Amino acid sequence: MSHSTLPRTAQEPAVPSPAAAVAPATAVPAASRPAADRGPLAIWPGSAAPLCDDDVAVGGVPLTELADRFGTPAYVLDEDEVRHRCRAYLRDFPDADVYYAAKAFLCRALVHWVQEEGLGLDVCSAGELELAVTTGFPPERIVLHGNAKSPADLQTALRLGVGRIVIDSTSEIARLAAAVPAGTRQKVLVRVVPGIAAGGHAKIRTGTDDQKFGLSIADGSAQHAITRVLAQPRLQLVGLHCHLGSQITTAKPYLSAVRRLVGLLARVREQHGVALPELDLGGGHGIAYRPGEPVLDSAALGAKVRAELASSCAAAGLPVPRLAVEPGRAIVGPAGVVLYRVLSVKRTGAHTFVAVDGGMSDNPRPALYGVRYAPRLVGRNSLTAPEPVTVVGRHCEAGDVLATDVQLPGDVRPGDLLAVPVAGAYHLSMASGYNLVGRPPVIAVTDGHARLLVRRESLADIQGRDVGL
């Protein structure tokens, strides 16, 4: 299906924006434009363009128009930006498998976009898997992860014919092997822990031995698991997998991981006479949430990883395995913008708190990791000098803070519209039902059109799940 013919929702038919001519739909995506050339919009989707009255158009549609039409909070996703980033990864990692990490954000339209751009899919549950396959995604191009896969996860993966299952613990080996139908073999990878500390926060570092994921190389757990998998006639071990963490902005940890995993591949061949044909380095590629923050260069990473893999394999006398990577945040994060309305402005001592109509229920990342964002006032031309404020959410937690000490006009007031860029990843996918406020909608924009992808969660939706008295 061409992306121009994706189905529209019955609730919100796509209509062209009156400002489509003001903000050209052919704007070059941010991934290919120097950040310095875009000034305050450096971290925004590449189609972002300033309009009069300090409005901003994304995908040719003014954000004020989207807020008026769909309400707030609302998540805006630039389809062209997502597609551009998918293509960039395929270009930066030639002759490799690129799997989109669905945990960053998943909906049916995004499944279509990823499929049409030629990427595979990395899922972590039966729910993500079912949504993808029932949307038409080929199951053989899907990898299933998870440190504690449920029986339903494994049964669904086998029933639908998932391409790869990543084994994360020794207890999973016999359980999976027993579930594979007689006369068939399931392709698997073993997730190993290379003992490398990398990532933007301790809670998102997964390449070390002191967390719940994978099997350690250092203590022999990985080698033991490999031996057990090879002994299972219904499992076909095709390679190794590792994931170092998230928000990694340099290539060095990945190159170290390549060297350690190739060393393990060499031991596997020595002990078992098997040359495993695949090596999956996971994702975790860092992006900028505020102007000036470091970003992982995927093109440089691709070149360096391929060179290191070839060199290490040559030194070990191994054939070069097929490489795989799993970007999620780096594809969808910069394509998203979230819109909030200001509900109150409170000055307490030396602090000014700007409260909005969303918060930790639609974006828990600041509360979990202390992440910082760069919100912007849109739709009103203020001549008042900016002042430091803290943007907070509406929820009953002191930790419900969306942005600390950010510069907003000193006359910010209730009713103002705030836009927060780089909101496409790990916001709605981690959203909760706290205070029963309902999760926001997701709107796609492209070529001056907007369409609803995921509708707002209503009070009726919430009450419908509550069936007991």
CATH number of the domain to which 409 belongs: 2.40.37.10
Binding residues for substrate: 329, 365, 369, 397, 426
With 70 as the cut, is the pLDDT of residue 162 above it? yes
Which residue bears the tokens 């591949």? Answer: 265
> Domain for residue 1, yes or no?
no
Domain hosting residue 242, numbered range: 80-331
Phi-psi label, residue 53: left if phi above 0, alpha if psi -120 to 50, beta otherwise: left
Mean pLDDT of all residues in 191-202: 70
pLDDT over threshold 60, residue 12: no
- Statement: residue 305 has pLDDT above 60: yes
The model's pLDDT over 371-398, given as tens digits with 9 standing for 90+, comes to 899 999 999 999 999 999 999 999 999 8
Q: Is 242 a catalytic residue?
A: no
Burial of 199 (0-12, 13-18, 19+ CB in 10 A): buried
CA distance 102 to 399: 27
Are residues 244 and 274 part of one domain? yes
Q: Is the dihedral of CA 302, 308, 309, 314 positive or negative?
A: positive
Number of domains in the chain: 2
Q: What is the pTM of this model?
A: 0.89
pLDDT in tens, 80-138: 999 999 999 999 999 999 999 999 999 999 999 999 999 999 999 999 999 999 999 99
For residues 242 and 346, membership in a common domain is answered with: no
Examine the fold and report which residue of 301, 331, 361 is the final residue of a domain before the chain moves on.
331
Q: What is the pLDDT of residue 211?
A: 62
Considering the domain architecture, whether residues 240 and 117 belong to the same structural domain is answered as: yes
With beta carbons less than 8 A apart as the criterion, state whether 324 and 89 touch. no
Binding residues for pyridoxal 5'-phosphate, as ranges, are: 284, 326-329, 426
pLDDT at 26 over 90: no
Return binding residues. 284, 326-329, 365, 369, 397, 426
Q: Rounded CA gap, 21 and 25, in Å?
A: 8
Residue 203 DSSP SS3: helix
CATH of the domain at 144: 3.20.20.10
Q: What is the pLDDT of residue 198?
A: 52
Residue 263 lies in a domain: yes
Of 86, 107, 124, 396, the active-site residue reads 396
Residues 22 and 118 in one domain: no
When pLDDT is cut at 50, 70 and 90, the band that residue 370 belongs to is confident
What pLDDT sits at residue 19? 41
Mean pLDDT across the stretch 353-380? 94
| 353 and 366 belong to one structural domain | yes
